[in-house]
Amino acid sequence: MSNPIVSIQGLSYQYALTEVPALRDVSLDIAEGEYVAVMGPCGAGKTTLCLSLNGIVPHMMAGGVEGKVIIAGQDTAQTTVRELARTVGMVFDNPEFQLSQVTAREEIALGLENTGVPRDEMIRRIDEVLGLVGLRGFADRSPLAMSGGQQQRLAIAAALAMYPRVLVLDEPTSNLDPIGKEEVFSVCAQLNRERGMTIVIVEHEVEVMATYASRVVVLSEGRVALNGAPRDVLRQVQALEAVGARAPQVTELAYRLEQRGRPVAEYPVTLEQALAVFPAEGVR
Amino acid sequence: MTTPPIVCDALGHEYAGGVLALKPTTLTIQPGEVLGVVGQNGSGKTTLVKHFNGLLRPTSGRLLINGEDARPRPVHDLARHVGYVFQNPNHQLFATTVEAELRFGPTNLGLTPETVAERVQQATSFFGIEKLLTSHPYRLAFPLRKLVAMASVYAMGPDVFVLDEPTTGQDHAGSNMVRKLIERLREQGKTVVIVSHDMALIAEVADRVLALWAAEVIASGSPRAIFAEDRVMQRTKLYPPQITQFARRWAPASTRPLPLTVAEAAAAVLGEER
Amino acid sequence: MAQHLPIPVVFVPRNSFFHRLHPVPKLIWAVGAIVMAFATRNPLVLLVLFVLGILFIAGAGVMRAYGRVMLVLFPISLSLIVFQALAPAFPQPWTPIAGFGPFTIYQEGIYSGLSLLLRTFAGSNFAVLLVLTTHPADLFTALQKFGVPHELNFMVSASLQLIPIVQREFQIVLSAQRSRGMRATGFGAAIPSMVPVFAGTIERVQQLAMSLESRAFGSKGAKTSLREVRASAKDVIFGLIGIVVTVAVTVLVLQYQAQLDWSKTPFMPDWVSVALVAVAALTFIAFTIALWWRASRE
Ligand SMILES: Nc1ncnc2c1ncn2[C@@H]1O[C@H](COP(=O)(O)OP(=O)(O)OP(=O)(O)O)[C@@H](O)[C@H]1O
Ligand SMILES: Nc1ncnc2c1ncn2[C@@H]1O[C@H](COP(=O)(O)OP(=O)(O)OP(=O)(O)O)[C@@H](O)[C@H]1O
Ligand SMILES: [Mg+2]
Ligand SMILES: [Mg+2]
């Protein structure tokens, strides 16, 4: 890969007072403009990996680190979190815990004020990102008077407004209803397509990730277990099962059919692919 | 006929400040039934189920628990009949060992030490957490913490379980564990109410689905019937599980029962081949 | 409920003259009032200042919020009157005016209690007005001009935010424990509800720190501000009036200090003083009991 925007080189990390490392010798390059889904069971190190992308690991956590993370040419060990914040936007897994301002407008403005964005530009961007995440009309609402789903959207808007080159989202849709989840993934897809924003997203919802992601990385016990295009990774039903992840339902269907003696030409990973592989009744 | 454990009689709820979160709802939950409650964010799911153990009180209508009006009974008394497992286990765990956590509920009910010990023992073996008894609940990984939270409610021996978002934050293994537990509760004849955005879970375990939209129950029926109804799906902005979507598009005009799980879909596809 | 609390708890959004006023002139008045209140103990001067403050507060339409704030100060001020009447913070000899069994009420004590009370309220009225009518961000921007660091400002406003959050968390934890058969009162409820709230709060604070860093909080380089506070002619005039009044009143009361010292002057009939002390004592007791009862109920 020529000049990746994220380059993780042999990264190992162990939190203080714990017995096992959270990450073990992880090496991963991500090119600008990729949409990477990170999956894996609880405790696999997904959150730790996210935190290492803007320097919170190791700067704000106690623990031992080995290896290197280079973000847009900056070594995270040599750069502060505040400086990396200009390149990497971060959405944490608990939406409510990351909001601190009196209104949505000010929540979004916070990062812009800190990086010295002029006031007119700030107002324009606030308007823009509120529209992007579907919160137009909520600018003066207190984040505490919002539902969990709305808070999650606001946290995303606050990160987006800083126009990061890399946007990292750690389980950003855990409290959202199905349509809300869909909206978050498609906003990310839109930014990815139109602005070339690099997306790294931790997500359990494998069916949706199969359609949106350009790459899937599966972590297991702190290591990269599988890594590649969704079509290549998600078809490995048994390998996924072995590390405590799962394949999309349609892929599992193909797997079961094959187990029961019906040959399947090509494993589908999305609904559309499944309909192509198993032509609809009557069409045949 | 046995008395239904929960009956809502035109039960409605308006929060202080005037938010009408639940329009008058009439609903009977049968003993041994597994009921799935689905709907958009803010549609009133949590508001509905919080009435079942008295955490919220109807602002209109009535709630009957085992045929009796629940109004005069405080939460700690209703807790004998209805166990409520909160979404976030951190909100309920406080003790320094799992065992102490399990003892808390039954002790509060005023049971004798022998009965408490027996209840703790039953919960331990039902959830298979013998090895965790001396662990500190806060040091457990999330799926296990959730398990302990559920066990601590089970130890109180309620007939009805309310599970709010049991699979949120869980991985594949954790969700499977939740599914198995629900199946085993069903085998024991318990009534289970599940609030969830996880349609695959609901499709697999629920006997009946209640679909809410804007503070109102707009549909109630078997998952097969609910997920087959375009009108309900469009109105509630929900999607059936992927495998069901596939099955519907694969055989749109079919009159066969709609597959809800991968196993059912596989059978349907193989059936076609034969 | 907790969800609808405006946060931080103190600022009341309205559109009054005082709300639109620049924070600096309001700050001048707040400081000026404290200077004036401490320049004299004369009840009449303090009363005038107090009434002026109340008029401003009423004009700003934040009387109810003011009442809520003052409810906290109320029992303290009542006890002030009682204790001062019995044991004045004044050099002896004291002038006795009435006896209550073993207690004696002194003229100096009444004077001292009243003036302390009026001082507290007259001095704090304008500060409360400032807080109630100024958006925290504007207030902090103004304070920053006087050299208070931005980080400190932020930390104050962030901890104010924490109050309603912890309140809500506490509600959820209480419901969770009541669902496990816990009766919501007494010592037995303390640990099961405090541990999760405490653990949750710590996690929250850590997470907030990470979230702020991730948005370049405290980074070097130029900062900008979304909120724009511009001063107009009326702001300048209001500020100037504040300075002139403060200086004039202070100079005058210092000049006529001797005449304004009413500590030995019986400026109220004795029975009024006695009634005042008795009512204050009874109200204080009633208040304490009411608070205790409310706390023990839920
Ligand atoms: N702040 C911390 N202090 C100590 N250990 C931690 C901390 N955060 C995580 N760990 C440990 O590091 C390992 C990896 O955790 P991490 O949170 O990265 O996993 P994850 O894949 O994000 O899991 P989940 O799906 O539960 O979010 C786990 O064993 C966890 O217990
Ligand atoms: N304590 C409260 N005070 C006022 N309004 C509330 C309160 N709790 C919930 N509401 C409102 O009542 C409505 C229903 O909320 P409820 O929590 O029942 O939704 P839900 O269906 O469980 O949503 P979710 O999927 O997001 O959990 C929402 O509009 C919500 O904002
Ligand atoms: Mg995580
Ligand atoms: Mg809910």
Q: Which of B132-141, B162-171, B244-253 has the lowest mean pLDDT?
A: B244-253
Render pLDDT for B57-99 as a digit per residue (tens, 0 to 9). 999 999 999 999 999 999 999 999 999 999 999 998 989 999 9
Beta-carbon separation of C180 and B105 below 8 A: yes
Conformation bin of residue C94: beta by default, left when phi > 0, alpha when psi is -120 to 50 = beta
pLDDT of residue B18: 82
Render pLDDT for B3-42 as a digit per residue (tens, 0 to 9). 999 999 999 999 887 889 999 999 999 999 999 999 998 8
Render pLDDT for A158-198 as a digit per residue (tens, 0 to 9). 999 999 999 999 999 888 888 888 888 988 999 999 999 99
User: What would the 3-class secondary structure string for chain B be?
Assistant: CCCCCEEEEEEEEECCCCCEEEEEEEEEECCCCEEEEEECCCCCHHHHHCCCCCCCCCCEEEEEECCEECCCCCHHHHCCCEEEECCCHHHCCCCCCHHHHHHHHHHHCCCCHHHHHHHHHHHHHHHCCHHHCCCCHHHCCHHHHHHHHHHHHHCCCCCEEEEECCCCCCCHHHHHHHHHHHHHHHHCCCEEEEECCCHHHHHHHCCEEEEEECCEEEEEECHHHHHHCHHHHHHHCCCCCHHHHHHHHHCCCCCCCCCCCHHHHHHHHHHHHC
3 state DSSP class of C280: helix
Look at residues A14, A24, A22 and name the one whose alpha carbon lies nearest to residue A64: A14
For residue A176, the ligand closest to its alpha carbon is 2
Q: Taking a C-beta distance cutoff of 8 angstroms, is the pair C13, A103 a contact? A: no
pLDDT of residue B209: 97
Please say if the pLDDT value at position A89 is more than 80: yes
Q: How far apart are CA C234 and CA C238, in angstroms?
A: 6
- DSSP secondary structure code for residue A226 in this structure: E
* pLDDT per residue rounded down to tens, chain C (298 residues): 333 333 334 678 788 899 989 888 998 999 999 999 888 888 889 999 999 999 999 999 888 888 877 777 777 778 888 888 888 877 778 888 877 777 788 888 888 888 888 888 888 889 889 888 888 777 777 777 777 777 776 677 667 667 777 878 888 888 899 899 888 666 667 788 888 888 888 888 888 889 989 999 878 777 788 877 778 899 999 999 999 999 999 999 888 888 888 887 778 888 888 888 888 888 888 887 877 776 655 4
**Choosing among B195, B204, B242, B254, which should be mutated to test the A contact, i.e. which has the most A CBs within 10 A?**
B242
Contacts of residue C36, Cβ cutoff 8 Å, sequence gap at least 6: C45, C49, C122, C123, C245, C246, C249, C250, C253
- Retrieve residue C62's tokens: 């934040």
For β-strands A6-15 and A23-30, DSSP reports them as antiparallel
Render pLDDT for A41-65 as a digit per residue (tens, 0 to 9). 999 999 999 999 999 999 999 999 9
Q: H-helix or E-strand containing C39?
A: helix C23-39
Please say if the pLDDT value at position A145 is more than 70: yes
More confident residue, B100 or C2: B100
For β-strands B60-65 and B68-69, DSSP reports them as antiparallel
pLDDT of residue A199: 97
Q: How far apart are CA C103 and CA C109, in angstroms?
A: 12
Strand runs labelled E in chain C: 96-100, 103-106
Q: How far apart are CA A213 and CA A232, in angstroms?
A: 12
- Nearest Cα of chain A lies from the Cα of B17 at a distance, in angstroms, of 12
Q: What percent of chain B has pLDDT over 70?
A: 97
Q: Which residues in chain C touch residue B53, judged by CB atoms under 8 angstroms apart?
A: 179
Counting from 1 in the atom list of ligand 1, the atom nearest the Cα of B171 is: 25
Beta-carbon separation of A102 and C225 below 8 A: no
Q: Does C151 touch chain A (CB under 8 A)?
A: no
CA of A147 to the centre of ligand 2 (A): 7
Contacts of residue A219, Cβ cutoff 8 Å, sequence gap at least 6: A26, A38, A39, A40, A44, A45, A46, A49, A225
Burial class (CB in 10 A: 0-12, 13-18, 19+), C167: middle
Q: Does B203 touch chain C (CB under 8 A)?
A: no
Nearest CA in chain B to C173: B91
Q: Which residue has the tokens 């009796």?
A: B68
Look at residues C258, C261, C243, C284 and name the one whose alpha carbon lies nearest to residue C29: C243
pLDDT of residue B175: 94
- Retrieve residue B173's tokens: 């293994």
Q: Is the dihedral of CA B191, B193, B198, B199 positive or negative?
A: positive
Look at residues A90, A160, A155, A85 and name the one whose alpha carbon lies nearest to residue A125: A160
**ipTM summary value:** 0.90
Q: Taking a C-beta distance cutoff of 8 angstroms, is the pair A145, A135 a contact? A: no
CA of A164 to the centre of ligand 1 (A): 25
Q: How far apart are CA A250 and CA C8, in angstroms?
A: 50
Beta-carbon separation of B197 and A43 below 8 A: no
Beta-carbon separation of A102 and C204 below 8 A: no
CB < 8 Å from C in window 90-119 of A: 90, 92, 94, 96-102, 105-106, 109-119
pLDDT of residue B274: 43
- Nearest Cα of chain B lies from the Cα of A119 at a distance, in angstroms, of 34
Beta-carbon separation of A281 and B199 below 8 A: no
3 state DSSP class of A227: strand
Q: Taking a C-beta distance cutoff of 8 angstroms, is the pair C242, C29 a contact? A: yes
3 state DSSP class of A54: coil
Q: Which residue has the tokens 């955490």?
A: B55
CA–CA distances in Å: residue C125 to residues A94, C24, C48 = 40, 16, 12
CA–CA distances in Å: residue B118 to residues A129, B79, B102, B107, B122 = 57, 18, 11, 12, 6
Please say if the pLDDT value at position A223 is more than 60: yes
pLDDT of residue C2: 34
- Nearest Cα of chain A lies from the Cα of B213 at a distance, in angstroms, of 12
Please say if the pLDDT value at position B185 is more than 50: yes
For residue A204, the ligand closest to its alpha carbon is 1
- DSSP secondary structure code for residue A41 in this structure: S
Beta-carbon separation of B104 and C192 below 8 A: yes
pLDDT of residue C298: 43
CA of A23 to the centre of ligand 1 (A): 10
Q: Which residues in chain B touch residue C172, judged by CB atoms under 8 angstroms apart?
A: 86, 91
Look at residues B104, B169, B171, B182 and name the one whose alpha carbon lies nearest to residue B137: B104
Q: Which residue has the tokens 């009744």?
A: A281
Q: How far apart are CA C204 and CA C60, in angstroms?
A: 35
Q: Which residues in chain A touch residue B164, judged by CB atoms under 8 angstroms apart?
A: none
